[in-house]
Amino acid sequence: MRRIKRIHFIGIGGVGMCGIAEVLLNQGYQISGSDINDGPVTKRLRDMGATIFIGHAESNVDGADVVVNSTAVSDSNPEMVRARENRTPIVRRAEMLAELMRYRHGIAVAGTHGKTTTTSLIASIFGEAGKDPTFVIGGRLTSAGTNARLGESRYLVAEADESDASFLHLQPMVSVVTNIDIDHMETYGFDEGKLKKTFIEFLHNLPFYGLAVLCIDDERVREILPSVSRPIITYGFSENADYRITDMSTSRNRSTFKLHRPEGKATLQIELNIPGSHNVQNAAAAIAVATDEGLSDEAICEGLSKFGGVGRRFEIYGEYPVSSGADRGGEAMLVDDYGHHPREVAATIKAVRDGWPERRLVMVFQPHRYTRTRDLYEDFVQILSSCDALVLTEVYSAGEEPIPGADSRHLCRSIRQRGLVDPIYAENIDVVPDIIRDIVQDGDIVITQGAGSVGKLVKLLAERKLQ
Please check whether residue 342 lies inside any domain of the structure.
yes
Residues 384 and 435 in one domain: yes
CATH of the domain at 29: 3.40.50.720
> How far apart are alpha carbons 383 and 387 in whole angstroms?
8
Residues 200 and 265 in one domain: yes
CATH of the domain at 432: 3.90.190.20
Residue 328 pLDDT: 63
Residues 272 and 335 in one domain: no
CB 364 within 8 A of CB 454: yes
* CA max distance for the chain: 70
Residues 184 and 266 in one domain: yes
Dump pLDDT digits (tens) for 336-384.
999 999 999 999 999 999 999 999 999 999 999 999 999 999 999 999 9
CATH of the domain at 112: 3.40.1190.10
Give the residue, 276 or 1, on which the prediction is more confident: 276
191 backbone dihedrals φ, ψ, rounded to 5°: -120, 110
Please check whether residue 99 lies inside any domain of the structure.
no
Range of the domain at 395: 315-464
Residue 142 pLDDT: 84
> How far apart are alpha carbons 187 and 202 in whole angstroms?
15
Give me the active site residues, please: 115-116, 159
Number of compact structural domains in the chain: 3
Residues 344 and 300 in one domain: no
How far does Cα 159 stand from its chain's mean position? 9
Dump pLDDT digits (tens) for 107-162.
999 999 999 999 999 999 999 999 999 999 988 888 888 889 999 999 999 999 99
pTM for the predicted model, two decimal places:
0.90
CB 336 within 8 A of CB 447: yes
How far does Cα 111 stand from its chain's mean position? 10
Residue 251 reports pLDDT greater than 90: no
Mean pLDDT of all residues in 421-432: 94
Which residues, at least 6 apart from 206, have a Cβ–Cβ distance to it below 8 Å?
171, 172, 173, 174, 175, 212, 230
Lowest mean pLDDT among 58-67, 258-267, 305-314: 305-314
Q: C-alpha distances in angstroms, 334 versus 396, 460, 461?
A: 21, 11, 8
Residues 203 and 114 in one domain: yes
Residues 204 and 345 in one domain: no
Residue 325 reports pLDDT greater than 60: no
Q: C-alpha distances in angstroms, 147 versus 53, 150, 157, 272, 295?
A: 21, 11, 11, 20, 23
Taking the CB of residue 443, how many other CB atoms lie within 10 A of it?
Answer: 15
Which of 305, 335, 353 represents a domain boundary (last residue)?
A: 305
Which of 59, 91, 123 represents a domain boundary (last residue)?
A: 91
Residues 283 and 370 in one domain: no
Residues 155 and 263 in one domain: yes
Q: Which residues of 271-289 are buried (b: 16+ CB within 10 A; e: fewer)?
A: ebebbbbbbbbbbbbbbbb
Residues 270 and 394 in one domain: no
454 backbone dihedrals φ, ψ, rounded to 5°: -60, -20
Residues 331 and 367 in one domain: yes
